Amino acid sequence: MIRASRRLGSGRVRAGWLLGLVAALTTACEQAPDTTFVFERSPEETVALLIDHVSEQRFEEVLSVVVEDQHALLTVAEEPDPAIVAAMLQRGEESAAANFWSAFLEELARPPTDLRIVRATPVTVAGVDFMVVDLEFPGEQVLRPIVLRRVPGTTWEVDLIASFAPAVARRLATSIESLAVSEEPEAIEVLAGWKEQRASLMAAVVIKPIPGAFDEPLSRLADALARVTTTVP
């Protein structure tokens, strides 16, 4: 059983795609800190904090262990209005985090604190350090991978895009392709945010947290993001 000092919270946006994402996942980064004031948190400690925060529905605290902006950017899979996503990027991701993890809890249908860590495997993609942490419920023998990313100047953080983007890659690709032809400033802002996540998406392609099931749409998403990278400042 994983224990930590705090736990998580609830909230809800449009959760249908998240339920499918979490259901799909049930099949189956280390750099020196910039200052001495940064606490070195291991991958296992990061996952333990995530699980405790989520189980207690303290979604605002979840943001402290997840790569910044990723809750908001993943909503592109469901939210067609770039102004809404851009507002999350500007003013905070609390609602996106609440929606995401509330759906996660609903689909999980078991206390997340019962999850245990099976193994942690380091992977380096495009010069960025990642850690694949496999979780399982006792007696279930079904691995549930979570990908962590080493963030310079901080510590290990949960990488939602590397972990969950494969399950919604088709929708994400469609949305990003649509945003790429939009002249709205909010669309450009959202695309710029996605441009910053290219390493995480590359990690999803390499690591394959959901093996085989989403190779084609994930490749399409990677191609769409590669085109954005060459056109968005």
Identify whether the C-beta of residue 94 lies closer than 8 Å to the C-beta of residue 63: yes
The token duo for 21 is 């994402």
Higher pLDDT, 173 or 109: 173
Residue 203 CA to residue 129 CA, distance in Å, equals: 9
Identify whether the C-beta of residue 161 lies closer than 8 Å to the C-beta of residue 70: yes
| Residue 181 burial by Cβ neighbours in a 10 Å radius (0-12, 13-18, 19+) | exposed
The CA-atom distances, in angstroms, between 127 and each of 30, 42, 44, 164, 221 are: 11, 19, 22, 21, 21
Q: Mean of the pLDDT values across residues 26-55?
A: 68
Supply the pLDDT for residue 32: 38
In this structure, of 2-6, 17-21, 98-102, 143-147, the range with the lowest mean pLDDT score is 2-6
Beta bridge partners of 125: 128
* 181-231: pLDDT as tens digits: 888 999 999 999 999 999 999 998 888 776 665 678 888 888 888 887 666
* 139-174: pLDDT as tens digits: 887 888 999 999 876 689 999 999 998 888 889 999
Flag whether pLDDT at 103 surpasses 80: yes
The sign of the dihedral angle between the CA atoms of 18, 96, 175, 149 is negative
Identify whether the C-beta of residue 209 lies closer than 8 Å to the C-beta of residue 162: yes
The token duo for 184 is 């709205």
pTM over 0.85: no
Q: Across the chain, what does the average pLDDT equal? A: 81
Residue 58 CA to residue 51 CA, distance in Å, equals: 10
Supply the pLDDT for residue 13: 41
Residue 158 CA to residue 68 CA, distance in Å, equals: 10
* 46-86: pLDDT as tens digits: 999 999 999 999 999 999 999 999 999 999 998 889 999 99
Instruction: Name the CA dihedral angle for 76, 81, 83, 87, rounded to a multiple of 10 degrees.
Output: -50
Domains of the chain by residue range: 16-231
Residue count (the chain):
233
Residue 59 CA to residue 104 CA, distance in Å, equals: 12
